[in-house]
Amino acid sequence: MTFTGVYVPLITPFDATGAVDLDSLEALARQVLAGGAAGLVALGTTGEPAALSAVEQRAVVDVTARVCRERGAALVIGANSVEAVRALRDRPQVSAALSLVPPFLRPGEDGVVAYFEALAAASPVPVIVYHVPYRTGQSLSAATVRRLAAIPGVAGMKLAAGGIDAATMELMADPPAGFAVLGADDAFVSPLLALGAHGGILASAHLATDRFAELVRAWQAGDAVRARAVGHQLTGLALALFAEPNPTVLKGVLHAQGRIPTAAVRLPLLPAGGDSIRAALECQPAGLP
């Protein structure tokens, strides 16, 4: 399949006892898909997967898989090892694995390519590379991204370069055929779409989902006037939501809206401050919840 449009990397809501609130998770999944999201991401970094037990992780995937099956939507699962992608064989609803460029080790570009060759060979579903160099410490040239795109089974990239850098410009000047580029720096997604990106994996799209979907459609239709207007509006929201570590502000906003029972996060995250939450609430596009 071709990965286009808006994919929402779902938070993991917690109830007053600290347990995962699966009912709220299901409600969020249904809300964003009804708002125009093309699919969901479960166990992405926004969902705090490292803080979830294996039982909790399975429950999250069970819920999101059921909703995506009912809605005919794509489901992408965070999977960052050969063992994790192999486990997706038992998940027929899964459309792709989202796999992080190896962090901290900085294996070099040849090492990254070899790593994704191994992941793709083991995976029963297409692999989407998650490239976020300001977190992993590993930069990738446009030439290396093209090498990744040539690996059988690698379908695209979640690109979070911290802005529109030279490597991104070079890549988007001649993007690999059949390789989806999905923006993941929420505040920069509009200019990346203007360069030809296929969509985005956007935590901010928990809110104003229909506007983010409209943003993608407008750029794809070549309606730059409309796209710029929507993009400018959504940039302020994205900046406000990322004023503190993700997803702390987002959870605060969702709780304030009554969409999740608490704003709780798990360590090492701490809840966002009230000022950040109020600022994000004030930045939502007019006429939307």
Beta bridge partners of 6: 200
CA distance 285 to 289: 8
CA distance 10 to 28: 8
User: 36 — alpha (psi -120 to 50), left (phi > 0) or beta?
Assistant: left
Contacts of 137 (CB under 8 A, 6+ apart): 103, 104, 106
Query: 177, 184, 79, 62: which is closest to 126 by C-alpha?
Result: 79
Which residues are catalytic, by number?
130, 158
Helix ranges (DSSP H) in 100-241: 108-122, 133-136, 142-149, 166-173, 189-194, 209-220, 224-241
Query: 236, 244, 252: which is closest to 11 by C-alpha?
Result: 252
